[in-house]
Structure 1
Amino acid sequence: MFSSAALLAVFLFGPNGFTRGTHMTISTHAVPGVCLAPECITVASAILSAMNHKVDPCDDFYEFACGGWVKQNPLPDGKSIWSTFGKLWQENQLVMKNILDDDTRPTNSVAERLAKTYYLSCLDQNSTIEALGSTPIDELLSQLGGWNISSSGFNVTSWKLQSAIELAQNTYSRSVFFAWMVAPDERNSSRHIITLDQGGLTLPSRDYYLNKTDREKTVTALKQYITQVGVLMGSNEEEAKTQAESIVNLELRMAEVTMPEDERRDEKALYNKMRIMDLQRLASFIDWVSFFRSGFSLVNISVTGRTEVVVLVPSYFRQLSVIIKDILAKPTGKITLANYIGWQTVNSLVGALAPSFREAQRVLQRALMGADGAEATWRQCISDTNNVLGLALSSMFVREVFDEQSKPVAEQMVREVKNAFKENLPYLNWMDDETRELAKDKADHVTDMIGFPSFISDRDKLDAKFEGLEMREAEYFDNNLRISQWMLLKNMRRLQRPSQRGEWDMSPIQVNAYYTPSKNQIVFPAGILQAPFYDKNYPSRSLNFGAMGVVMGHELTHAFDDQGREYDKEGNLKQWWNNRTIEAFQQRAKCFIDQYSSYKLNNDSINGKSTLGENMADNGGLKAAFHAYRGWLQSNTEFAPLPGVNLTHEQLFYVGFAQVWCSTETPEATHMQVLVDAHSPAKYRVIGTLSNSVEFSKTYKCKPTSPMNPPRKCEVW
């Protein structure tokens, strides 16, 4: 959100030597035709205070638009990233705190009571969590056969890998060695299928294990974290260190056979359908029929060797089987595997244990993020509640603050952005006519969901979504297990049910948006339909189009990026482009890969290949939104200029776009983003996108030699 600076801030950030294209002038006198309404003064003040007027926009538009914001917004204590997204999320959290803390708000909704009970169990005002210490996790580990590091009764003779994996995955919903779920069948999006993927690493990327520099810092911190948790659970420090070493060595071997993210962008190559009996031949370290029966028997679904599954990375499962069999051949093999499974289980639940466990985790958080992530308990509890009971929480949020009139205005903006995207298709000379018509047809079939699902306003329908779930105020750890188990059962039941296009994959409170290829659907939650992204009462429509309009265009363009283009209008994985057009697309995609790979932050080079889809979406979204805004101007009149902001409305469009990406972060957080995030860092989401825009350079009158107007520009959509 824009910082709420007073008009004084406008004077503080007056002109400072900026001359090219446009300039800032501040006056205390009324100017004819200038909007002096309170909302205009507030917005103008926020825009100006976020800017750095000493910088030429044609040299570095990110610094021009965000330099003041970065200076005024140092990282808060405990935070590794601070941004407009984060500020808006904190405001949403405060709204929810006021609702949940207010005992005078009675509710007849079972779902809303579940959310409040979970929130209170997380707050733990009676210090129940601390009093329990490691008892809850000790009891769970005993069910898994014990953990050699703790005092949970590990017996190497009776321990069985099959049973431990089945219990961890299919009773307690913990991902050990691999991940699996029931998901839409990418080649027949109307049905669901069991899908397996690589997984099971503690660190967020294989590179943290394999890169020597990263390994020295983060792997050392990981070992310290495991050791400290072991000590908290009753082990002596030397024994805990030894076992931590064996766990990390196993994860290192797993990292070596894990497919890098930039090699996972070909959707067709990832789709490997086979029968469970074929999976058994591929990876025989467990009995797969028995494994799946241990889960699906709980929902009365039959599984046989002929049941179909999709394995996303067959090479990982094949090599994982070799690793596990090699370890089992050693005298200490069972201990190593049991320690790994125990560790993954403990690590996934550390946040639900006593404060001493969470403090141990901060050693790793500091190494990874440059900050320990500590924040007020109530904020963490709002986030946790949103993660597990987001729809119930959203019901209260929407009722409290969401403006119903925002929804139709946003829906109209989506239509305008979509029309602008389609109107540009005839000008793409790299596409053949048949593919162009199919692309238009796919764009026509993109459905949108805005704000929130209607059923959350219907108490009975909302309550039905949480049928069978139970919460108890004094049982935060057990509440987390109950939710995990309930969600696992809910997911498994999908196997015999058709795919539902109206299901939300994100809490409506989230400050985010998304596109789902298998549904050909774009979603814009209520959480992001607020300033600075969107406000139906903004005193300049250019700000709405520059911020939220670009987000809408971004998600729409995902339907046509390097992965989304592989899905047809019904959401099925299918080749609907001809080979010549595919080749032309790939040539243009390489331009983006090369461009973004040339950008560096703190000596980290952006991976232009793994960020390709997001970079395409940023560029296509900006273009579609700008054209949509120009289309809106043809039949509408803009508001009067904002006071003190000597920018045209078209220039203001680009400032609105850039200022939603104002952020600051630690070097460690930047490094992690470069390694694991499919998005480019915020600075280059602005610079990379705008330097490809001919309209931007014309709007700001950038010379051909200026950094923001390079001779080579990348464009697909």
Structure 2
Amino acid sequence: AAGILSKLNQSVDPCEDFYRFACEGWISAHPIPEDMANYGVYPWLRHNVDLKLKALLEKPISKRRDTEAVQKAKILYASCMNENKIERADVKPLLSLLRHSPFRWPVLESNIGPEGLWSERKFSLVQALATLRGQHSTSVFIRLYVAADDKVSSRYILKLDQASLSLASREDYLENTTEAKSYRDAFLQFMVDTAVLLGANASRAESDMKSVLKLEVKIAEIMIPYENRTSESMYNKMNLSELSAMIPQFDWLGYIKKVIDTKLYPELKDVGPSEDVIVRVPQYFKDLFRILENERKNFAANLILVSKEKAGEKKRLRNFCFSALEACTVIHGTTTLMPQWDKCVDLVESALPYAVGRMFVHAHFQEDKKEMVSPL
């Protein structure tokens, strides 16, 4: 009862303004942190969990008590927190990655050396997208995942959907309001700054990144709006052979086989043309590959690498962070960088979720609660 009362503003008449009456006490006591775009009860709870995880991850490794997975989680956290070593390494590890296919970045050709030159003839869209999805958990153009079949809930099935764009909503690309234009300008500047920090020529970077933004606008135009994503319209079950016949421009089977780690999941090595999938947005995929067929390959390659750099924000150097912050200030209203420990907790959680979950349950769940959920 005391907790509920503390969230109220009892000086407000609920018949006049129920929202202020019910919420203003909590809002007054919890201003939005400067590194966040929004705040509420769930982000507040999430922050408190992260503080507890931080304390657990900072405890010294015990080879006697900690499992191998927990030890790896602590090592990953410590390496992420070693900012001095990260700054000393500068961009060398990233440039080393960008010298190897499929991550050669066309905009960096003048700086990355002959071994890193991007070649249109050698560029494979299938390989680039599959490597990003399989090894870096980043979806560009295509979102591939496994979930329960909507009509046979006891069965799991592959699903294909449209991937997210760089900005928060498709309207940010399509509307001509002052606000939407400022978002696009800020994102364009972020892309240019990222390329220049990695050694790209400034004028080449601006030209190439404008092409990337134009490509994202075209993709935003064909994306299925949220209000049209009904359960029935998004249930399009077919096998991979049928999908390939419907959209022959892309090697769907090759893409899925490259994404799946058959060493980790040997039972999936036999995925073939008869494998069923649910294609949630067939029209989007038809339009997508029509667009990509008519675009220069280096535009798609640049967009793929921009998406990879954006996805790697938790491991970004300080110069890159400040460049990203300038864009975030315009787009989200955040005015400071997220603390390094917070980024590192997020990184470890996303990389080793079960190890982190085990640590938290072991330290903070009461014994009766553990017994209650163990049968599940």
Whole-Å separation in 2 of the counterparts to 1:373 and 1:267: 40
Matched position secondary structure for 1:165: helix
Given that 2:211 and 2:299 are in contact with CA atoms closer than 8 Å, whether structure 1 keeps it comes out as: yes
Whole-Å separation in 2 of the counterparts to 1:162 and 1:89: 36
Match runs of 1:395-474 below 5 Å = 395-405=358-368, 454=374
Residue 390 of structure 1 pairs with residue 353 of structure 2: yes
Does the C-alpha gap of structure 1 residues 309 and 86 become closer, same or farther in structure 2, counting only changes over 3 Å? closer
* Equivalence for 1:113: 71
* Equivalence for 2:247: 283
Residue 366 of structure 1 pairs with residue 329 of structure 2: yes
Given that 1:231 and 1:240 are in contact with CA atoms closer than 8 Å, whether structure 2 keeps it comes out as: yes
* Equivalence for 1:227: 192
* Equivalence for 2:214: 249
Does the C-alpha gap of structure 1 residues 74 and 170 become closer, same or farther in structure 2, counting only changes over 3 Å? closer
Whole-Å separation in 2 of the counterparts to 1:173 and 1:51: 42
The structural deviation recorded for 1:157 is 3.6
Whole-Å separation in 2 of the counterparts to 1:165 and 1:376: 31
Does the C-alpha gap of structure 1 residues 254 and 49 become closer, same or farther in structure 2, counting only changes over 3 Å? same
1:628-676 C-alpha deviation (Å, 9 max, x unpaired): xxxxxxxxxxxxxxxxxxxxxxxxxxxxxxxxxxxxxxxxxxxxxxxxx
The structural deviation recorded for 1:112 is 1.4
Q: Aligned AA for 2:342?
A: R
Whole-Å separation in 2 of the counterparts to 1:223 and 1:251: 11
Q: Aligned AA for 1:368?
A: I
Does the C-alpha gap of structure 1 residues 236 and 95 become closer, same or farther in structure 2, counting only changes over 3 Å? same
* Equivalence for 2:37: 80
Whole-Å separation in 1 of the counterparts to 2:368 and 2:340: 34
Match runs of 1:678-693 below 5 Å = none
Identical counterparts, % of pairs: 29
Residue 99 of structure 1 pairs with residue 63 of structure 2: no
* Equivalence for 1:585: none
Given that 1:209 and 1:255 are in contact with CA atoms closer than 8 Å, whether structure 2 keeps it comes out as: yes
Matched position secondary structure for 1:112: helix
Residue 313 of structure 1 pairs with residue 281 of structure 2: yes
* Equivalence for 1:549: none
Given that 1:227 and 1:237 are in contact with CA atoms closer than 8 Å, whether structure 2 keeps it comes out as: yes
Residue 52 of structure 1 pairs with residue 14 of structure 2: no
Match runs of 1:192-271 below 5 Å = 192-213=156-177, 214-264=179-229, 266-271=230-235
Matched position secondary structure for 1:269: coil
The structural deviation recorded for 1:164 is 2.8
The structural deviation recorded for 1:117 is 1.4
Whole-Å separation in 2 of the counterparts to 1:72 and 1:192: 44
Of residues 73, 82, 85, the one that matches 1:124 is: 82
Given that 1:133 and 1:353 are in contact with CA atoms closer than 8 Å, whether structure 2 keeps it comes out as: no
Whole-Å separation in 2 of the counterparts to 1:296 and 1:87: 36
> Deviation above 4 Å: which 4+ runs of structure 1?
46-49, 405-408
Q: Aligned AA for 1:350?
A: E
1:236-295 C-alpha deviation (Å, 9 max, x unpaired): 21111111101111111110000011211x212211011212212322332223223333
The structural deviation recorded for 1:54 is 2.2
The structural deviation recorded for 1:187 is 2.3
Q: Aligned AA for 1:273?
A: K
* Equivalence for 1:274: 238
Given that 2:322 and 2:337 are in contact with CA atoms closer than 8 Å, whether structure 1 keeps it comes out as: no
Residue 353 of structure 1 pairs with residue 316 of structure 2: yes
1:449-488 C-alpha deviation (Å, 9 max, x unpaired): x7xx539xxxxxxxxxxxxxxxxxxxxxxxxxxxxxxxxx
1:508-529 C-alpha deviation (Å, 9 max, x unpaired): xxxxxxxxxxxxxxxxxxxxxx
Bigger radius of gyration among the two: 1
* Equivalence for 2:341: 378
- TM-score norm. by structure 2 comes to 0.87
1:217-247 C-alpha deviation (Å, 9 max, x unpaired): 1111110110010011110211111111011
Matched position secondary structure for 1:81: coil
Whole-Å separation in 2 of the counterparts to 1:172 and 1:79: 25
Q: Aligned AA for 2:97?
A: L
The structural deviation recorded for 1:163 is 3.4
Residue 334 of structure 1 pairs with residue 254 of structure 2: no
Does the C-alpha gap of structure 1 residues 394 and 305 become closer, same or farther in structure 2, counting only changes over 3 Å? closer
C-alpha RMSD of the superposition = 2.5
Matched position secondary structure for 2:159: strand
Does the C-alpha gap of structure 1 residues 350 and 90 become closer, same or farther in structure 2, counting only changes over 3 Å? closer
The structural deviation recorded for 1:96 is 2.3
Does the C-alpha gap of structure 1 residues 259 and 400 become closer, same or farther in structure 2, counting only changes over 3 Å? same
Given that 1:182 and 1:193 are in contact with CA atoms closer than 8 Å, whether structure 2 keeps it comes out as: yes
Matched position secondary structure for 1:182: strand
Given that 1:283 and 1:320 are in contact with CA atoms closer than 8 Å, whether structure 2 keeps it comes out as: no
Whole-Å separation in 2 of the counterparts to 1:86 and 1:158: 45
Match runs of 1:140-179 below 5 Å = 140-141=97-98, 142-144=100-102, 146-150=104-108, 151=112, 152-179=116-143
**Structure 2 residue ranges without an equivalent (≥5):** none
Q: Aligned AA for 1:109?
A: T
Does the C-alpha gap of structure 1 residues 186 and 72 become closer, same or farther in structure 2, counting only changes over 3 Å? closer
Matched position secondary structure for 2:367: coil
Given that 1:50 and 1:68 are in contact with CA atoms closer than 8 Å, whether structure 2 keeps it comes out as: yes
Matched position secondary structure for 2:107: coil
Whole-Å separation in 2 of the counterparts to 1:137 and 1:258: 31
Does the C-alpha gap of structure 1 residues 322 and 74 become closer, same or farther in structure 2, counting only changes over 3 Å? same
Does the C-alpha gap of structure 1 residues 109 and 122 become closer, same or farther in structure 2, counting only changes over 3 Å? same
The structural deviation recorded for 1:134 is 2.4
Does the C-alpha gap of structure 1 residues 192 and 71 become closer, same or farther in structure 2, counting only changes over 3 Å? closer
Q: Aligned AA for 1:99?
A: L
The structural deviation recorded for 1:144 is 0.8
Whole-Å separation in 1 of the counterparts to 2:350 and 2:133: 20
The structural deviation recorded for 1:402 is 2.5
Q: How many equivalent pairs are there? A: 363
The structural deviation recorded for 1:49 is 4.5
Whole-Å separation in 2 of the counterparts to 1:215 and 1:77: 22
Whole-Å separation in 2 of the counterparts to 1:287 and 1:335: 19
Given that 1:293 and 1:302 are in contact with CA atoms closer than 8 Å, whether structure 2 keeps it comes out as: no
Given that 1:137 and 1:346 are in contact with CA atoms closer than 8 Å, whether structure 2 keeps it comes out as: no
Does the C-alpha gap of structure 1 residues 131 and 85 become closer, same or farther in structure 2, counting only changes over 3 Å? same
Given that 1:132 and 1:354 are in contact with CA atoms closer than 8 Å, whether structure 2 keeps it comes out as: no
Given that 1:200 and 1:344 are in contact with CA atoms closer than 8 Å, whether structure 2 keeps it comes out as: no
Given that 1:178 and 1:196 are in contact with CA atoms closer than 8 Å, whether structure 2 keeps it comes out as: yes
Whole-Å separation in 2 of the counterparts to 1:178 and 1:344: 12
Deviates more, 1:89-98 or 1:288-297: 288-297
Whole-Å separation in 2 of the counterparts to 1:304 and 1:397: 40
1:400-424 C-alpha deviation (Å, 9 max, x unpaired): 232334679xxxxxxxxxxxxxxxx
Match runs of 1:520-669 below 5 Å = none
